[in-house]
Every structure is written in structure tokens, then in C-alpha cells.
Amino acid sequence: MSKILAINAGSSSLKWRLIEMPTEKVIAKGSAERIGQKLGKIKVVANGEKTERESPVPTHHDAVEMLLKMLTESKIINDFSEIAGVGHRVVAGGEIFHQSTLIDEEVLTQIESLAEYAPLHNPAEAEGIRAFMAALPGVPEVAVFDTSFHQTLPAVNYLYSIPYDYYKQFGARKYGAHGTSYRYVSQRAAELVGQPLSDLKMIVAHLGNGVSLDAIKDGQSYNTSMGFTPLAGVTMGTRSGDIDASLVAFLEEKLELSVEQMTDILNTKSGLLGLSGISSDMRDLLAKETTDERAKIAVDIFIDRIVQYIGAYTAQLNGLDTLVFTAGIGENEAPIRSRVCQSLGYLGVELDENLNKAARGTEQLISTPQSKVKVLVVPTDEELMIARDVVELGKIK
């Protein structure tokens, strides 16, 4: 048995899971949140017990040191030598990384060089990687890229209709995101329906605070809704999704905003939050949509944009036989799944509403036997995919 640390670092957070392989048993999990703020929050769950405390966490390097200290102090492990490998979720792999990769100094430098493609994430992830490499010398470290799953997109789907030289000079193209989630969910969905993934025309809807959809053809990503950055695509919790570029320039002029300020608005003050003026949390909006017109329109737009993409991707796939919901909203909000599927009746989608209501964070087929499209809920597990890649690439037994 080997113990693998799966690390998911965000711009101001570091989530982790310690997984025993090959049994794939979660030994412990936790997080450091509000990194860089005055007071951070540390969470650990082990042996059925949850521990939380507040403490300053100035940097991701500090978060790593705290994590490793907690693992030994709480006796989750007795010694660092028990950790056989560490896997890191990295948002942007650009066109350099087409698959998960063992990390050395050259790879780490390349990850840092891609910071402009994910300025909130790659630098933080690189900092965490350096901290682990220093604390655990000789332990295999593996980078698992959000974008690598989408390297199979054909040029017709990843190129923008702008001067081609911008792509060649600056890498201006669609990269997508949520790739690790899509890899796990698509493989698991194929297992659940009992067919090879390569035989399925599948759309996966990753509906969380960040939202994207992916069309999977011949077992590979064929098109995805997020673009050069995770800002593109459907309406999200605080992100606008697709928007006319000229409107961005118009608003910058009217509001006398810099590019950076406008980009921040589109990323953090738009989407469900901007439309409703209430919350970016779908639970809050569903609770108020019958009494608050803006909450209702926010929910309606959220569903409409998802339906638009499913329709477009069904046309590109020349049909649809499997639709999968995952992530926070996709796994837990039966009303959203129901309303999306009601708009897909023309495709022969038919939900079993009793199964749909019962499916909350669990694997479940929620369509009727008569439905022409199998509809499933499959909770995502990015950390497990990371651990599997560490075992494979690190040649860990």
C-alpha cells in the first residue's frame, strides 16, 4: 500500500486529500482557505472527526508547511517517508503539456512561464510545488493539467476567428478547463452505462460555481465551453460567460475602467451574482425565485445558456446518447437538472423525476428506460484522478 497526496491549489486556497493506493481509500482530507488574508481557516477530516481552526496563512508555502506538520502531529502519518508521491492540479498547461507529467525543475519553470494563461492559479500552484519539493526531496511530484484533456480538440473548435498569427505568436486559442473532472466523470459514466467510452456521444455538464460543458466524441474531448480562460462559455456563479467583445470596450469607456478592472468585474461580479444582485449561490436563488424577479431571471438565464450549448454540441456530435451532470449544482440540485432536461424533450430526453429527486451527490441513472438519452449524475473526483496519475507516472507500487 502507498499513500499519495493529491493537491488542489487555488488562488487563495489549498485543498488536499491523502489517498491509500491501490485501494483508493481516502485516509484524510482538508484545506487551507483565505491564504494571504489576515486570518485563514484550516480544516482537517480524519478518522471520522473534523477539526477546524483559524490561523494566519500568509502564502501557499506556509500552507504546505502547515499541512505537513498537521499530518504528523495528528498521527495521520508517523513520518514523511510514508508519502510515496504528490500530485498537483495545475490549471494551465498551454500547448506544452498534453498529459500529466513528472515534475522536475524544467517542468516547474514551464508551469511558471504559463502564468499569463492562468494568473490567479499557476503562480500559486508553482509555489506549492516548490514547497513540497523542498520538504519531500526525492518523492515523485506529478502535475495534472486542467487543459490537457482538451488537447484533442480539432482546430475547427479551438481556433478563434482572429488573425491566425495571434495564435502562432501568442497561443491565442481555446484551452478549456475542468479537464481532470471530465476525464474522471466520462470514464465513470461509461462504466455505469456498460459501454466503451469510445462508442458514446456524450455531453458532460460540470455545474458548480464555475460552469462548463464538454462534448466527448470517440472517447476524447471534441469541444468545450470555456475558452482561452475559464471566463468564456455559459453563465456562472460570478463569471459572465460569453459576451460581445465590443460591449466590454463600450463599458470600459463608459465606466472609465482599466482592462484589469473590467476583467475583474466579468470574473468576480457578474454571472448569477451580477444578474440577481443577491448571491452567486444557486441554492439562494432557487429559494427566492418565486418572490424575486431578478433571482428568477438569473436562474432562467443559467438554464438557457446550458441548453444552448447542449443543443450546439449535440449537432456537432451528430446526436446524443449520454448526458452527465456533475459538480456542486449538477450533483445536488434536482430542479436544475429537471429544467434543463425539460428543454431537451425534442432529443427524446425523459427523466424519472423520483430518481432525479433522490439523486443528491450520488451516482445515479435518472432517466427513464424509454428515454433516448441516458441521463446520469456522477459526482466528480479530481483528487482520485490525480492520485492515479501519480501512481502511474511515479511507478509507485
Residues tagged active-site:
146
Residue 320 · residue 201 · CB < 8 Å: yes
Closest CA to 85 of 103, 69, 98: 103
CA distance 397 to 391: 7
CA distance 201 to 203: 7
Q: Which residues, at least 6 apart from 134, have a Cβ–Cβ distance to it below 8 Å?
A: none
| Radius of gyration (C-alpha) of the chain in whole angstroms | 21
What distances in angstroms separate CA 186 from CA 56, 191, 215, 319, one per listed residue?
39, 9, 10, 17
Neighbours of 27 (CB within 10 A): 17
Q: Which amino acid, one-letter code, is at 117? A: Y
Q: Which three cell numbers stand for residue 298?
A: 438569473
Residue 86 · residue 390 · CB < 8 Å: yes
- 3-class SS at 122? helix
Query: How many alpha carbons fall within 13 Å on the CB side of residue 322?
Result: 31
CA distance 255 to 354: 49
Q: At what angle do helices 122-135 and 60-73 cross, to 10 degrees?
A: 40
Render the burial of 154-163: b for 16+ CB within 10 Å, e for the rest.
Answer: eeebbeeeee
CA distance 327 to 325: 7
Place of cell 460591449: 247
Which phi and psi (to 5°) does residue 101 adopt? -145, 140
